[in-house]
Structure 1
Amino acid sequence: MTAAAESILSTLLTLPEEDRLEIAERLQDSFSGLPADEDLTDDMKATLDRRWEEIESGSVRCIPHSEVMASMRAKHGL
């Protein structure tokens, strides 16, 4: 990451969570090639709904991103 990006990130991380979430959503929307909600097929929507229900019901355990990344780094010696 460039020094300019690091500086911006540092500033952004001081903002309230609600503001950071809004910024993250806007940044995500700015990427081309990512499907908008209306671009999802019915099968994709059904899969998302099913997986969300699994999370809500507790039948699956979510792993925090930081743990996944630490595991991948350890596995691949990074």
Structure 2
Amino acid sequence: MIFIDLTPFRCPVPLVRVKLALKSMSSGETLHILLSDSGSRRDVPLFLKKQGYNIQVLCDDAIQLALVVTKVDLSQG
């Protein structure tokens, strides 16, 4: 599992970093993401869902959003 804490960053930096992390991962690997910026908390999950990634929400409170994303082979879709 790869862990990235993106809470210090504001949109669009977290989305860009998530895209880069997913690009370097193999199918089946997981990415644990922490987000705090309101724009990123909206945009990152929307992007992941639109792209067809498997997402599990671990925490969604006033302080942060914690997600686990499982990389899928998008070319098989």
Question: TM-score w.r.t. structure 2 length?
Answer: 0.31
User: Comparing both structures, which one devotes a greater share of its residues to strand?
Assistant: 2
Compare CA radii of gyration and give the structure with the larger one: 1
User: Comparing both structures, which one devotes a greater share of its residues to helix?
Assistant: 1
**Which fold has the larger relative contact order, with Cα–Cα distance below 8 Å and residues 6 or more apart in sequence?**
2
Question: TM-score w.r.t. structure 1 length?
Answer: 0.31
